[in-house]
Amino acid sequence: MGRHKGERAQTVLITGGAGFIGSNLAARLLAELPESRIVVFDNLSRRGSEHNVRWLRQLPGSDRLTVVQGDVRNAAEVNAAARDAVAIYHLAAQVAVTTSVSDPLQDFETNALGTFHVLEAARRSGRQPLVLFTSTNKVYGALESVDVMPDGSRYRAVREAFRGADERTPLDFHSPYGCSKGAADQYVRDYARIYDLPTVVFRMSCIAGPRQFGNEDQGWVAHFLYSVLARQQINIYGDGLQVRDILHVDDLLDAMMSVRKQVNTVAGEIYNVGGGMERAFSVAEILKKIEQRTAIACRCTHSAVRPGDQPLYISDCGKLMAATGWSPKRGIDRILEDIETFWRASKELISAAQHRAPVEDLVAEEVA
């Protein structure tokens, strides 16, 4: 049923909406919420963001898409973008541990202060919007409560009953990035308790899939696959036995949609979100899978382990599954297939993203 004349469409705001996850989410919302206006709010600083904006503007329903070039560090810009929002997906972030170590102030201002600005904008709007915040497994630090041992091509938990880290795992912020995201996710949780704002925190493991302009600081699965396909050398930090669980971006979007549909029962909660035990692989195992897939030998060098790097992290997603019925459906072969398909269709863009094009013509200066 269409809107009455003069009635405004409901607005959904995605901060960081021109990034990897954000652009995939915007496309999903355009398809699934035909009566809604989708606002992408992004400073367009990440390489590839301008290409994601162009892609979004070619999709069906893009007449309901508004792109705002803005920064979450600017409270006035956030307030303007959020004033009509009935839901806010807060994805904008500084995402690299290495960058947080070299520039902790910028990391804090983006992740902690930026999240505060989003929460305040949501509170002051008076609309009680859903605020879904994408946090990180780095809030658990080195996961020192889980003893590990090397076992062939990976680290394994000494405790045989280990099924992944759940939300009861002690917080142990390690690195400025862990501190800034951890402080932010505690603010998000507390705004539900103190101001009755319907918020949800996703503490995410490794997300991978199409539209990921991966590099060694973020998007490591895509970075490895792109590097092998382009016959470029890969630098491995540590011994390569480090284990992560990997989740297809479409499975993450399914989780986000399940939360949106059940906001009354999940508001105020924190959930670990990842691939779980069945989708956990070491760096060495992923490289082997890539070699088998591409029939190209990986060329690798090794450097020291980076600060705050966990030898093993696997998400226990049982809490989210029980609350919403969600579960991952796509495995590692599908993840690699979709990343490679994107690379083959977009390798010139991926290469060109290192030399950014002007972005002024891509955005509206303010929310219309």
Query: Which residues constitute the domain of residue 80?
Result: 11-362
Instruction: Tell me, yes or no, whether 6 lies in a domain.
Output: no
φ, ψ at 357 (rounded to 5°): -90, 160
Instruction: Tell me, yes or no, whether 116 lies in a domain.
Output: yes
Instruction: Tell me, yes or no, whether 2 lies in a domain.
Output: no
- Confidence (pLDDT) at 125: 96
Instruction: Tell me, yes or no, whether 142 lies in a domain.
Output: yes
Instruction: Tell me, yes or no, whether 27 lies in a domain.
Output: yes
Among candidate residues 177, 191, 226, 271, the one labeled active-site is 177
Greater model confidence, 271 or 50: 271
What mean pLDDT is predicted for residues 185-200?
97
pTM over 0.75: yes
- Confidence (pLDDT) at 78: 98
Residue 352: give its domain's CATH number: 3.40.50.720
- Confidence (pLDDT) at 364: 35
Euclidean distance between CA atoms 166 and 163, whole angstroms: 9
Euclidean distance between CA atoms 53 and 31, whole angstroms: 16
What mean pLDDT is predicted for residues 253-262?
96
Euclidean distance between CA atoms 185 and 172, whole angstroms: 13
Residues 297-307: tens digit of each pLDDT: 999 999 988 76
Structural domain count of the chain: 1
Share of the chain above pLDDT 70, in %: 92
Instruction: Tell me, yes or no, whether 38 lies in a domain.
Output: yes
Residues 95-132: tens digit of each pLDDT: 888 888 889 999 999 999 999 999 999 999 999 999 99
Instruction: Tell me, yes or no, whether 104 lies in a domain.
Output: yes
Catalytic residue check, 195: no
Residue 218, helix vs strand vs coil: strand
Quote the strand ranges of the chain, DSSP E: 10-15, 36-42, 65-69, 85-90, 130-136, 148-151, 154-157, 199-204, 206-208, 234-237, 243-248, 269-273, 280-282, 300-303, 312-313
Residues 274-299: tens digit of each pLDDT: 999 999 999 999 999 999 999 999 99
Distance of CA 152 to the CA centre of its chain: 30
Instruction: Tell me, yes or no, whether 4 lies in a domain.
Output: no
- Confidence (pLDDT) at 93: 94
What mean pLDDT is predicted for residues 342-358?
70
Residues 25-66: tens digit of each pLDDT: 999 999 999 999 999 999 998 888 899 999 999 999 999 999
Residue of 100, 43, 95 lying closest to 74 (CA atoms): 43
Residues 323-348: tens digit of each pLDDT: 999 999 999 999 999 999 999 998 87
